[in-house]
Amino acid sequence: MPASDRLVAAARKARRRAIAPYSKFKVGAALETADGIIITGCNIENATYGLTVCAERVAVFKAISEGIKKFEAIAIAAPSKRPAAPCGACRQILWEFCGDIWIHMDSLRGLRLSLRL
């Protein structure tokens, strides 16, 4: 299985753990380290909305909290008509902590898009 397929599969699995009672928009992310380790994340909503954390940031923060600092790619799985790109806050975190990595976006409907950050 190509690396992007492996990452997308991990993102889809992580999506199942998302907590999205307000938006119903469950997102999963899978971040691949330079060593090939996959760190996952899911979005976690709360009533304030402003304190909600996106799947991409959860994955990055989990990795950094474990001392991991080099990354190759991230996959994002979201229930959208088109592949969903990271929000502005996630792009900022990804750029600062991951650099110009590959982003594999999966719409769950057979549409995928891969771009550099």
Active-site annotation, residues: 56
The C-alpha atoms of residue 100 and residue 117 are separated, in whole angstroms, by 5
* Cβ contact 101:68 at 8 Å: no
Contact at 8 Å (CB) between 75 and 106?
yes
User: CB–CB of 33/73 below 8 Å?
Assistant: no
Between CA 115 and CA 44 the distance in angstroms is: 25
- Residue whose C-alpha is closest to residue 39's, from 54, 60, 53: 60
Q: Which amino acid is at 66?
A: E
